[in-house]
Structure 1
Amino acid sequence: MSSIEQRIDELRSDDKSGASELTQRSVAVLKELAESFEGDDKGEFIHYVSKWGSTLAGLHPHMSAIRCCIGGIVYGLNEHREYADVFGLRHFVYTFADDFIRDSNDNVKKIARNACEIIGDNKYKVLLTHSRSSTVREVFRQLIKIGYSVEFIVTESRGRVTRPGEETSYPFGLQTSEDLKSMGIVHKVVPDILAGHYARKTDASIVGADSILGDGGLVNSAGTYHIALAAHDANKPFYVACETLKFDPSYNQSNADILLETLNKRDVGKGHLFDITPSRYINDGRIITEIGALKQSEIADIMTTKRKYLTAL
């Protein structure tokens, strides 16, 4: 088995890594495949990259991040085909891949800085989070680093009730708690049954995202919707912080049941289920991203571009 085939098999079987890491690894493999192409026919080169791109995107079909990113490469190749030779097209793939991987590594810190600015401007003193998000964890870390005084509350985030003897993964909220402990961040863990109560009592709630739907809705760990409802009922802000990488134009609230069925079928054995929170329950409908707190109109513009990329595959 070649090195590339082995890496593709590893990608296919990886059910633990998040969207950002899997997308970076998929793009790196596609870059290596582009490098291995022999010949000077640009039509054959584009077909070769497109074929392998479709294969990579199909390894985790529920992750639009991979499909959109690889689709962006294929879309760009077709845009450049009239005036670039194989050398130029290959250079485009290299540049796209390298820029994406570099930017992706920086995006979490950029999102955290944007979130910290919002939190500081509003003088929030008590924050609640749900599930496990590397982005939210970085927000908390940066708040402590700049000396901002705030109390953190973490829900257990068990995802679902399990029957006696049924195996389930360690609850994501408790994993978040371990992460915060390792960074020396003082926090309080509360049971999921009290999540709504604390969402009403805290200054604000902030969560990450599995994905953002085409109409701005949020897909995240089960229980997120109830926290958003409680916060909305108490007129308390509910924030979402995630990369634009996770924007998924393939689904909206009218057909998201298909996505939920796929996700929940995949993760039911791990004790991890998902729900959908409509955009009207997200603070001002804005998503905190690496390029700022985006309004619904700005989210719609990004979704339009991503739809072009998806159709390229």
Structure 2
Amino acid sequence: RTPEGLRLKQTPVAEYDQMKNLEVKDDIVLDDKSNPLEGIHSQQFQFEIEFAPEKGTEKVVLEVLKNKDYQTTIWYDVNTGILHVDRSKSMAAEQAPADHMQNGTWFKFLEDYTAPVAMTNGKIKLKVFVDNYSVEVYAGNDTIVLTELVFPYKDADLLNLYAVGTPVHATYSFATMDSYRKDNTDMRNLSGTLADAKDQLERGQGNYTDESFKALQDAYKAAFAAAFNPDSTQNSINLANYALTNALTNLRANADKPITVTPEKPTTVTDIYDSTAKPVVSETPAQAVSAASVSSEGTPTAAATGLGMTLATAIGALAGAVFTNRKRREQE
């Protein structure tokens, strides 16, 4: 039952939430100059956004399954109250399915599909599910659903989010799904560390040292890049989480007193989450980060090898591992 009468409601099953892997949330102001989803690569994800259009806001646009030439575009026209899922530029016309009759209706693949969606208390909320070959958009408290078949190119994994006209305040949540990588890379621990680091960075430098704050910024950028790089492995994700955790620890150790407690370096990178933390009291801020070592494959090995690894080296090793994986993938 709705104020407009009886309506059919279609709601995604709750089990979808169990498939969330890496999740990013933020409060933002959308305009036509910046893209808050820049750097994210995915063809399998859940996305939710809620925004309150301002006077002069023309439309809010989300481009998915995007490469340099093509994309599927989801957008809300504020002036008409119409929601669009536009496949007209989703692929090359000569490769698209042929126009044909389907169930008595003329079917055209490269077309803009629409539905009216009224604002609720001056806001629009959309839920978007992208799973390689399908795009589903839920609106109007799940009483409006647009489901479209798509055939994206393998490199079409970019996203773009922006507003046209007056900037608009929005909150969003983006989450990759478990099957987003062929080897099901688990990024739940990294997801939490990224959130902690982002919160710390948004508070500003405060009384932290220039060196430790810059190290956290670098570690955050490296971890974020690894999280959304299709070539990342479980080891490189674990390494990113390890480096970022140490950067956070080192930052806080440099706030005032040079005393901190950090976990002992695990035997291998895959043991990071299962290792037993042993207190290590550093005498100076520079010793706040535990020594780590790297094998010839770019994977941390036993600290007993004696190859000390600084935070900067850890980030460099992460970048090198990802680059090596990418080159190997190109050669295949």
Q: Which has the higher strand share?
A: 2
The TM-score with structure 1 as length reference comes to 0.26
TM-score, L = length of structure 2: 0.25
